[in-house]
Amino acid sequence: MALLPYSKCIFLYVIIFLFFTLSSMSQAELDAHYYDKTCPQAEKIISDTVLSASKFDPKVPARILRMFFHDCFIRGCDASILLDSTPKNLAEKDAPPNLSVHSFYVIDEAKTKLEKACPHTVSCADIISIAARDVVALSGGPSWSVLKGRKDGRVSKASETVNLPAPTLNVSQLIQSFAKRGLGVKDMVTLSGGHTLGFSHCSSFQARVHNFSLLHDIDPSLNTEFALDLKGKCPKLNTNPSAGHFLDSTSSVFDNDYYRQLLVGKGLFSSDQSLVGDQRTRWIVEAFAKDQGLFFTEFVASMLKLGNVGVSQNGEVRLNCKVVN
């Protein structure tokens, strides 16, 4: 067989080197088919668990979706929100912003089943990501192929939850917060649409209806009738810890009602209502309020983007989501 010229050998070597380099790079990235061979029943186990829990407790979908957001915003999507506190460390789940998340048991239950079916294979971080997709779809929203292959982190600090976007932030602060996670203005407005599901306690918004400022007792950006309703449910000296209000008028359905409510001054949080008062974001709110299909398309894209935040290949697959191995 004739030998190749030296220059062609070098060229062939470079091509082969690039092929294997790119192949290894692609393996390090998230993949929709990550568990196809190692645990093909993984998504069904998680979906069945989520469906069963949601039938038993209608609050589960909103809580799981919030869990995904709150996990990915702190240290990336590494399931650090699931770790229990220890005598020496207060974990994320016990910080004030996460005390109302609850429903951690749903992820734990799915993990227990997965450990029986495919031991030490499916990460807790991937379970949260798949469950978040499932609760959106169960609630009437879009579905998508979840990219998988995340590893679980080993650190969880309650003090770091101060970096979660607060319900009192203005648009500039929200844009800055999301930008730190590589998310743009449209991602921010789109993911805020997750507030179409769920309920909020008075503590997150009652400052808007009591002594709001020196000039106004009630936040002037609020619809007057809506504000009086909130004031009635959340009196100044509120003694009912369960008191609050739903995030939009169809709080158990994933739809674009959240955006329609913002346009008539019925955003529950000042951070939500601020999206209408700023030209950088109002046009997106208006577009989603008019076109639910557009919102769904953008929501899927932004969820996939958020799901890539801080993904590490250096973590572990926890055997129990509550504790490190």
Annotation: binding site: 71, 76, 78, 80, 92, 165, 195-196, 248, 250, 255
DSSP for 186-226?
A: HHHHHHHGGGGS-EEEGGGTGGGTSS-SSS-SS-TTS-HHH
Residue numbering of the annotated binding site for Ca(2+): 71, 76, 78, 80, 92, 196, 248, 250, 255
Indicate the annotated binding residues for heme b: 195
CB-based contact 97:77 (threshold 8 Å): no
What whole-number distance in Å separates Cα of residue 260 and Cα of residue 193? 11
The owner of tokens 């239950």 is 109
What are the residues whose beta carbons fall under 8 Å from the beta carbon of 192, sequence distance 6 or more?
A: 174, 258, 271, 272, 275
Q: Which amino acid is at 298?
A: E
Gap between the Cα atoms of 317 and 306, Å rounded: 20
Please tell me whether residue 284 adopts helix, strand or coil conformation: helix
For residues 141 and 132, the answer to whether their CB atoms sit within 8 Å is no
Which DSSP symbol is given to 19?
A: H
Question: Are 166 and 279 contacting, i.e. CB atoms less than 8 angstroms apart?
Answer: no
Numbered residues of the known binding site for substrate: 165
| Neighbouring C-beta atoms of residue 51, cutoff 10 Å | 14
102 is a catalytic site residue = no
Which one of 33, 70, 216, 245 is the catalytic residue?
Answer: 70
Cβ–Cβ under 8 Å, residues 239 and 159: no
Q: Residue 31, CB half-sphere, CA atoms under 13 Å: how many?
A: 14
The answer to whether 77 and 71 have CB atoms below 8 angstroms apart is yes
Q: 247 exposed, middle or buried (CB, 10 Å; 0-12, 13-18, 19+)?
A: buried
* Residues classed as catalytic: 70
